[in-house]
Structure 1
Amino acid sequence: MDRGLLFVVTMVMGCLAPGVSGNGHLTFANNTKVNITRTGCGLKKLCVETPEQCDPTGKTSCLFASIVTTAPSPPNGVDLLVELRGDSSGYIALGLTANETEGTSMVFICAQNSSVSFFFRSAQRNNLNNTISLTQRIVKNITSSVNGTVIQCEFNVPAVNATTRTSHITFVTFLAVGNVTNGMGIGDINIRLTSKLLNLAQPNSNVATTTAPTTAGSSALTSQAVLVLLSVLTYHLS
């Protein structure tokens, strides 16, 4: 059944414990359909996905996120424009962290359930034990589309900073899925992809670079050919 229910949400996330129902001060209104594509990846927006190079508009499974940043404004950081798409009967999530092996991650969750179709949560992940706790963070202009198990959402996160140990906008990103419990509770997070440290302001920071083929071998062969030619000419002239 097509449940392409569309919402625009402007919210300040309420602080809810996992498994506790509540609407988190959500305000909903109808909007046009979300249409997330790979257009601009590596040029205008930073993209991460699994499987690699999967098509978020296709019929196959594709867990995909893109990020566009404003110009850095120290000490306030940057605003993020995020697109997130994935297949889940519970939730999909994007995480940002300065260090994946310690500290915490910011997590942004787009979810669905049978009663309200779509809802959004911001959370914090403990990087040491992978536990999730819901947090209070301002997230703006949320747009969503739910069609069966396909969840798509767009949202803005203002004033994002990494820790003082890194540049303001350099993060490890991860993509994850999970279950919804007790209405709108967030179940265990299952990370499907973790990136290297990425500069969110550089759309091509995770695009593999290729090195030009070495010419050392061809130069050596050319030199040998010249020597052989000179030997032949010397033989005939002597």
Structure 2
Amino acid sequence: MTTVQNRNSLWTFLSGLRPTKTVAMGLAAAALFTIAACERTTGVTQLPMPPDRDVVSFNAPAPTNGPPFQPNADCKLGRGDYRLGPGDKIRVVVLQDTEFSGDYEVNATGAISARMIGPVQVAGMTLNEVEEMLREKYRSGGYLVSPRLSVELVTTRPFFIIGEVQRSGAFAYVNCLRVIQAVAIAGGFTRRASKSHITIKRYYSKSAEEEYVTEDTLVEPGDLIRIPERYF
């Protein structure tokens, strides 16, 4: 017997019962709905539920099967490369006598006032060169027979940023600083900033000209970054 015949027979049977017409029609509708539901599910293969998947927690440790992270050492300030200038702060440690030790800031004239020696010019010199110069002065001045000392860089001179940033001015330098990070320190670009025409005036450049750079260019202590305004 076909599905249509089943429906007609059920309707005829229910209509002949004693309950009221409204009840009969309700029962018939419910029965027809059940048959239709059965027809939709007949012959359909139920797919199995997928297996549980591993859930990775946000607090889970990072994978350890890759190479360890190595910071970029090329941008670190080396003792033999970095040249001192006004605003830098150095620490002199004399092993024979702590009275000769101290922290000194390079003043606007490029000098420090070392203990017992007095003002000495250090601008443009590396840390190694300052060590040799101080050894010679302590030895020749009769203060120490065989001076053993070291010179360390405590803080560097600031970098400068002007133009279309939220806060122009001088800011403390950090190792491996790039232009985009310097802009972030200055509060970010303004909406008028021309990001494709950024220039830098290098601190120790003998030329007065500024060089065009990208947002990924490394910044050095004392550099002046200029963010120009775009005209369209």
Q: Same fold by TM (over 0.5)?
A: no
Between structures 1 and 2, the one with greater strand share: 1
More helix by share: 2
**TM-score of the two chains, using structure 2 as the length reference:** 0.20
TM-score by length of 1: 0.20
**Structure with greater Cα Rg:** 2
